[in-house]
Amino acid sequence: MVLGLGTGSTAKHAVDRIAELLHQGKLKNIIGVPTSKKTHEQAVSLGIPLSDLDTHPVLDLAIDGADEVDPFLNLVKGRGGSLLREKMVESVCKKFVVIVDESKLVSHLGGSGLAMPVEIVPFCWKFTAKRLQELFEDSGCVAKLRTCLEKNQPFVTDNGNYIVDLYFKKDIGDLKVASDAILRLAGVVEHGMFLDMATTVIVAGELGVAIKHKQ
């Protein structure tokens, strides 16, 4: 089985558990495809055999966390900065299982008041950020360059790009329309809306675990 290995504080537990099962002999013939440099390092340190999309362009399963999950299992991802590699890997998985706690459930993506990340090229980033903000003027959008807290320098992704976080005051409307509009802007590499990609979402809550399947 070729398995996409997600990124973030939740996915980290899944990667640890996969390694544990592998070493106990309860999982066999697993090859992992990491979605970030950090997960790559974690998987190497745990002895999980690894590959990449050049060698394995189709994956059987990916397991990852998310920042927001709507009732249709659309996601916001990338608040940890790994959205591009995650989207590349998770868009070619036969099954994409998302693991979250119930704090990540929202009624509309972008409605939580938290960041909707967009990965952009560093060249004239202010110009691209301004164009992104203008695109969602009607939704009261504010676009902010993500910085590293300790140095107040731009946060740089694993791909050498910057991230602009979009904050909305109002509903962004049709998600597919919003996604297409963002991707049409020159300077944008990818955004953190993962539409129609998750096949299953496993939600941990105070009362136990709920499993939601795509309809």
Ligand X SMILES: O=C[C@H](O)[C@H](O)[C@H](O)COP(=O)(O)O
Report the catalytic residues: 86
The CA R_g of the chain, rounded to the nearest whole Å, is: 17
User: What does DSSP assign to residue 105?
Assistant: B
105, two tokens: 């459930």
In the bound state with ligand X, the residue whose beta carbon lies nearer, of 53 and 204, is 204
Under rule CB under 6 A, residue 165 binds ligand X: no
Number of residues that bind ligand X (CB under 6 A): 18
- CB of residue 27 to ligand X, shortest distance in Å: 22
Question: How far apart, in whole angstroms, are the C-alpha atoms of residue 88 and residue 83?
Answer: 9
Cα within 13 Å of Cα(172), Cβ side: 28
- 10-29 positions binding ligand X, by CB under 6 A: 10-11
Spatial contact of 188 and 118, defined as CB atoms under 8 Å apart: yes
Helix axes 37-45 and 9-23, enclosed angle (nearest 10):
30
**Minimum CB distance to ligand X smaller for 79 or for 191:** 79
CA 8 to chain CA centroid, Å, is: 9
Q: How far is the CB of 169 from ligand X (least distance, A)?
A: 22
User: Three-state DSSP class for 150?
Assistant: coil
* One character per residue 71-100, x = contact with ligand X (rule: CB under 6 A): ------xxxxxxx--x--------------
Q: Tell me: does residue 190 bind ligand X (CB under 6 A).
A: no
Which helix H or strand E contains 194, and what residues bound it?
Answer: strand 193-194
Segment contacting ligand X by CB under 6 A, of 6-14, 118-126, 144-152, 175-183: 6-14
Q: How far is the CB of 3 from ligand X (least distance, A)?
A: 15
Q: How far is the CB of 83 from ligand X (least distance, A)?
A: 6
Q: Does 8 bind ligand X (CB under 6 A)?
A: yes
Contact residues: ligand X, CB under 6 A: 6-11, 64-67, 77-83, 86
